[in-house]
């Protein structure tokens, strides 16, 4: 109990520090959102619009920076995160709300899948060390992990989408499709998700395999594993319930961390595949000096990662009795 | 050569109304935009037995998903509604400086060019069935006055009042500002009084179901990924549009947008495609076409307050040291034609171009003349200069690479600073640069050389070093230049306008505050597989990019199934 309270205290202090940095950092950037919008809409916007935009966005109103900070903290507490400037005047929460499900869906599911598959492969590779699977799979996937993500993405689009025409290479659902609760829409989403998911899987699975395999190898030399084998328990049972269960602990922490990072959205994925998720929104917010949107997204990412760290600590405490005793 | 606008004869209108309107427009258009082809009346026969129906797909990288907001006052989204949903008073084709009456049937200048009166078209209905009246026009402009955050064309810096009077709307000006006609008549989409008067804060209002007078409506089934436009069966141009649906998918980056177009999934593109012949044309050579009409200039802005660039001979030397042809071929894939030192876009504004004056200076690539001029300007030995550029514009990066090699031939070492957009803006606007590479007038396409020249030369919009200028980044300050630009603002006489522009060209040629390098073009690809009636170089009836508004309204009302 005391353990959890201490972790919560730490969590709140880190959160406050993150919020403060979150406020000051974007404002260190030169220029203002109105100027950014004029440039980004070159050809569609009369340069004389600068004044009108500054009025509309409420920038350059010379308010004291600490007064603004106080207002910012108050707004966060009441949940009012303001209007986005890039997508003016759509409220920030609406912008995020529309993009979040796609990121959670694609990146979240792929991360989970990558973790499960990677751990399984690592476990099996370590169990049958030196065998056929062990010699091929980890090596292959570590090499693919080293490839630049966008390169694999573009190659996949070129091969599977443009040349072979098997799968669509962009967007989350068909161009003329609309969001509806129907099997057709679900089918579209799955079809459009296969290529991005595949590329994320291929580039991230190597890490899981390697860590799992290495911890597994250490675990396999433990006495209790030898005891279990000597007692005549089936090899599948020993591999999973005795060795695997203990070897997975470091990976669990890593997994919780990576879940926290899901929300920052695989930015490159979303650009290459034109996938309507949070990562691309963040990129646009930064390019357009969209303070409200940037702050909101950074806030979400920070909170997600902090929660993930908290979760990882709690999970470790629950799964590994040794950590509990020590504290 | 005469070009007739392809607008249908309105059923039921007496013939003489058309003739009178046509005569008025002919007389007025010729005087305001001198030298341009006069606009004919909006009554000429459309092709008979045109096939109705069809779904046209646009391919344009908008950079973000759609937010479901179609407010005509919001610059982030109004390119998706001005034109085909909210219409302007008069459409002005910047390629030909030609006018087509839309919600206004005609106009007159009076009172020493301080009063502008539009005659408003009768018989137009909003898509919710209510009648469109001059009160809607007056309301739209007064709304923009009431909420300064909406005045994105800054029209109220020159307007005094806007009132509806009978079937006309009268615009009274604070001072003469004839060139603002382009923004007032062509760039502003007219919104309805009965809907917008009920909106509490139009600046933050999300216009989700826009009610306009235009040829298309926004379908409620539109998603963040694709906007679906449906044909408006009660459009005031009877029989038009011919298309029944237009799809506008959102692309967040160029490569997916290019893949979409190259894969034959779209009919009309507005993309920058490297190697367009192999990537796009060869995929379907019978049907795939492209055309990139020029409309503006990309310039090297010279900071005239910095030594030795404050000396005009040094600036002239640099103008003789740019091989514009090579920049165009190597840096811009040959898509953007070389510009000329007068900053007058050719061939659009050939009638404005002072050929004899330009030939006297003859600004072609001439390294020996450049070296002589450098010495005359007091430069001893080699010179080191830096140029700031937006690193994200890869074609501009290549263009400057060519310029760097050219400058090396006259002993000038050019250092290229490829910056992020925000960094670049900050330095350009505040004057912290020696040379800067940017479009003349923020890439705005306009119907005469005046707008670019004003953006580059008018000191009123400039600012001292350290303060943000909205244009004239070179900090060119000359009362004679300002006087000429103000004289142009005050007149509708074509002869006066031309003589003023000639003098301004003289300033560009002698003083060289900026060096126009290439001409910016509109990106335009189209497939004739399903649809016909596209604008071409031979028939440039609109500025053909999908992102050009209100031009896209005219194009989408004209193309039809084959």
Cα–Cα distance, B118 to B103 (Å, whole number): 9
Distance from CA of B221 to the nearest CA of A (A): 7
Write the DSSP assignment of B145-171 as a string of letters.
HH-GGG-TT-GGGTEEEEEEETTEEEE
Contact A43 B425 (CB under 8 A): no
Crossing angle (nearest 10°) for helices A2-27 and A65-78: 130
- Find out whether the peptide bond into A60 is cis, omega within 30 degrees of 0: no
Contact A45 B444 (CB under 8 A): yes
Contact B421 A48 (CB under 8 A): no
Residues 154-173, chain B: which have Cβ within 8 Å of A? 154, 157
Tens of pLDDT, residue by residue over B541-555, are 999 999 999 999 999
Buried b (16+ CB within 10 A) or exposed e, B167-202: ebbbbebeebbbbbbbbbbbbbbbbbbebbeebeeb
Q: Mutate one of A27, A46, A167 to test the B interface: name it (highest B CB count within 10 A).
A: A46
Residues 444-473, chain B: which have Cβ within 8 Å of A? 444-445, 455, 468, 470-471
Query: Nearest CA to B387 among B327, B455, B323, B438?
Result: B438
Alpha-carbon separation of residue B19 from B10, B13, B26, B37 (angstroms): 13, 11, 10, 18
On chain A, the residues whose CB falls within 8 A of the CB of B425 are 31, 35-36, 38-39
Residues 9-48, chain B: which have Cβ within 8 Å of A? none
Cα–Cα distance, A170 to B255 (Å, whole number): 10
Contact A175 B226 (CB under 8 A): yes
> In this structure, which topology does domain A92-326 adopt according to CATH?
MetI-like fold (1.10.3720)
Distance from CA of A71 to the nearest CA of B (A): 20
Q: Mutate one of B83, B221, B225, B523 to test the A interface: name it (highest A CB count within 10 A).
A: B225
Size of interface A-B (CB pairs under 8 A): 175
Q: Mutate one of B184, B206, B255 to test the A interface: name it (highest A CB count within 10 A).
A: B255
pTM: 0.80
Tens of pLDDT, residue by residue over A280-308, are 888 888 877 888 888 888 888 888 888 88
Cα–Cα distance, B193 to B199 (Å, whole number): 10
Alpha-carbon separation of residue B18 from A312, B139, B379, B543 (angstroms): 78, 28, 64, 26
Distance from CA of A156 to the nearest CA of B (A): 13
On chain A, the residues whose CB falls within 8 A of the CB of B250 are 276
Q: What is the 3-state secondary structure (H, E, C) of B275-303?
A: CHHHHCHHHCCCCEEECCCEEEEEEEEEC
Cα–Cα distance, B344 to B457 (Å, whole number): 13
Q: Give the chain A residue whose CA is nearest to the CA of B467.
A: A31
Q: Give the chain A residue whose CA is nearest to the CA of B551.
A: A44
Distance from CA of B543 to the nearest CA of A (A): 12
Residues B188 and B153: beta-carbon distance below 8 Å: yes
On chain B, the residues whose CB falls within 8 A of the CB of A280 are 64, 252
CB-based contacts of B473: which residues, under 8 Å, 6+ apart?
B301, B303, B428, B429, B431, B436, B438, B462
Cα–Cα distance, B516 to B508 (Å, whole number): 10
Helix (H) or strand (E) holding A280: helix A278-287
| Token output for A80 | 């009012």
Measure CB to CB from residue A36 to each of B247, B390, B421 and give the nearest one. Answer: B421
Cα–Cα distance, B183 to A214 (Å, whole number): 68
For β-strands B525-527 and B288-290, DSSP reports them as antiparallel
For the question of an ipTM over 0.90, the answer is no
Distance from CA of A38 to the nearest CA of B (A): 8
Give CB contacts under 8 A, 24+ apart, made by B499-502.
Answer: B501/B344, B501/B352, B501/B354, B501/B448, B501/B449, B501/B450, B501/B453, B502/B354, B502/B357
Residues B456 and B513: beta-carbon distance below 8 Å: yes
| Token output for A73 | 């903290």
**Residue A177: what pLDDT?**
65
User: Which segments in chain A show pLDDT lower than 70?
Assistant: 60-62, 175-178, 265, 324-327
Structural domain spans, chain A = 2-78, 92-326
CB-based contacts of B380: which residues, under 8 Å, 6+ apart?
none
On chain B, the residues whose CB falls within 8 A of the CB of A87 are 64, 67, 69, 76
Alpha-carbon separation of residue A147 from A204, A268, B44, B344, B397 (angstroms): 10, 13, 61, 49, 27
User: Which segments in chain B show pLDDT lower than 70?
Assistant: 1-48
On chain A, the residues whose CB falls within 8 A of the CB of B222 are 178
Cα–Cα distance, B188 to B137 (Å, whole number): 10
Distance from CA of B398 to the nearest CA of A (A): 20
Q: Give the chain B residue whose CA is nearest to the CA of A274.
A: B252
Residue identified by tokens 């300064």 is B148
On chain B, the residues whose CB falls within 8 A of the CB of A41 are 75-76
Q: Is B152 on the interface with A (CB under 8 A)?
A: yes
């Amino acid at each position: 109990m005391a353990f959890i309270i201490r972790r919560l205290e730490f969590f709140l202090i880190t959160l406050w520090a993150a919020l403060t940095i979150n406020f000051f950092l974007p404002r260190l950037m030169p220029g203002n959102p109105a100027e950014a919008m004029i440039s980004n809409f070159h050809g569609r916007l009369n340069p004389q619009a600068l004044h009108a935009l500054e009025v509309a966005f409420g920038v350059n109103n010379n308010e004291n920076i600490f007064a603004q900070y106080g207002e910012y903290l108050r707004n966060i507490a009441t949940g009012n995160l303001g209007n986005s400037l890039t997508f003016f005047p759509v409220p920030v929460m609406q912008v995020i709300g529309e993009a979040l499900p796609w990121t959670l869906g694609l990146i979240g599911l792929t991360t989970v899948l990558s973790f499960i598959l990677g751990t399984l492969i690592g476990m099996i590779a370590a169990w049958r060390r030196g065998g056929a699977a062990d010699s091929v799979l980890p090596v292959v996937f570590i090499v693919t992990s080293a490839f630049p993500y966008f390169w694999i993405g573009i190659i996949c689009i070129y091969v599977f989408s443009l040349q072979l025409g098997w799968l669509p290479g962009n967007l989350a659902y068909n161009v003329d499709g609309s969001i509806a609760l129907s099997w057709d829409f679900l089918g579209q989403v799955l079809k459009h998700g296969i290529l991005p998911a595949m590329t994320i899987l291929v580039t991230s699975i190597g890490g899981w395999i390697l860590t799992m395999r290495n911890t597994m190898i250490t675990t396999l030399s433990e006495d209790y594993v030898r005891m279990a084998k000597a007692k005549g328990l089936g090899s599948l049972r020993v591999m999973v319930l005795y060795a695997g269960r203990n070897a997975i602990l470091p990976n669990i922490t890593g997994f919780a961390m990576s879940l926290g990072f899901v929300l920052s959205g695989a930015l490159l994925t979303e650009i290459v595949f034109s996938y309507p998720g949070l990562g691309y929104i963040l990129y646009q917010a930064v390019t357009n000096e969209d303070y409200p949107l940037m702050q909101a997204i950074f806030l979400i990412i920070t909170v997600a990662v902090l929660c993930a760290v908290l979760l990882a600590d709690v999970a470790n405490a629950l799964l590994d009795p040794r950590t509990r005793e020590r504290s | 050569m005469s070009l007739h606008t392809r607008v249908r004869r309105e059923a039921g209108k007496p013939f003489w109304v058309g003739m009178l309107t046509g005569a008025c427009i002919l007389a007025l258009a010729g005087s305001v935009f001198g030298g341009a082809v006069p606009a004919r009346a909006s009554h000429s026969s459309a092709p008979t037995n045109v096939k109705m129906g069809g779904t046209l797909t646009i391919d344009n990288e908008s950079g973000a998903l759609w937010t479901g907001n179609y407010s005509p006052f919001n610059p982030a989204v109004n390119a998706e509604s001005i034109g085909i949903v909210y219409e302007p008073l008069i459409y002005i084709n910047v390629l030909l400086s030609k006018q087509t009456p839309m919600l206004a049937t005609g106009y007159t200048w009076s009172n020493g060019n301080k009063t502008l009166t539009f005659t408003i078209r009768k018989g137009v209905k909003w898509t919710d069935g209510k009648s469109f009246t001059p009160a809607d026009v007056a309301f739209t402009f007064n709304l923009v006055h009431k909420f300064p955050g909406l005045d994105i064309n800054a029209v109220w810096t020159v307007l005094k009042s806007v009132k509806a009077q009978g079937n006309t709307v009268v615009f009274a000006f604070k001072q003469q500002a004839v060139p603002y006609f382009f923004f007032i008549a062509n760039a502003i989409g007219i919104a309805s009084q009965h809907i917008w008067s009920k909106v509490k804060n139009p600046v933050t209002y999300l216009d989700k179901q826009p009610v306009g007078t235009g040829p298309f409506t926004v379908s409620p089934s539109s998603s963040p990924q694709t906007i679906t436009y449906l044909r408006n069966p009660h459009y005031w141009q009877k029989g038009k549009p011919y298309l029944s649906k237009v799809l506008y998918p959102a692309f967040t980056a160029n490569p997916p947008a290019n893949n979409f177009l190259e894969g034959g999934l779209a009919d009309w593109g507005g993309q920058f495609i490297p190697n367009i012949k192999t990537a796009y044309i060869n995929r379907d050579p019978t049907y795939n076409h492209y055309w990139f009409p020029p409309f503006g200039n990309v310039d090297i802005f010279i900071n005239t307050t910095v030594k030795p660039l404050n000396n005009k001979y040094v600036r002239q030397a640099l103008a003789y040291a740019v091989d514009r042809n090579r920049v165009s071929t190597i840096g811009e894939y040959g898509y953007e034609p070389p510009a000329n030192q007068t900053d007058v876009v050719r061939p659009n504004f050939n009638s404005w171009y002072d050929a004899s004056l330009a030939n006297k200076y003859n600004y072609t690539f001439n390294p020996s003349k450049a070296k002589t001029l450098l010495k005359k300007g007091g430069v001893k030995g080699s010179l080191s200069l830096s140029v700031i550029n937006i690193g994200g514009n890869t074609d501009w990066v290549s263009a400057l690479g060519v310029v760097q090699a050219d400058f090396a031939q006259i002993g000038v070492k050019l250092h290229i600073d490829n910056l992020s957009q925000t960094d670049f803006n900050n330095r350009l606007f505040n004057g912290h640069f020696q040379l800067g590479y940017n479009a003349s007038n923020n890439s705005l396409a306009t119907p005469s050389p005046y707008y670019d020249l004003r953006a580059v030369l008018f000191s009123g919009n400039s600012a001292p070093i350290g303060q943000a200028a909205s244009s004239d980044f070179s900090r060119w300050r000359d009362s004679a230049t300002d006087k000429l630009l103000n004289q142009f603002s005050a007149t509708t006489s074509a002869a006066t306008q031309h003589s003023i522009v000639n003098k301004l060209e003289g300033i560009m040629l002698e003083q060289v505050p900026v060096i126009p390098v290439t001409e910016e073009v509109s990106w335009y690809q189209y497939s004739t597989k399903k649809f016909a009636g596209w604008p071409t170089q031979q028939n440039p009836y609109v500025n053909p990019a999908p992102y050009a508004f209100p031009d896209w309204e005219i194009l989408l009302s004209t193309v039809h199934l084959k």
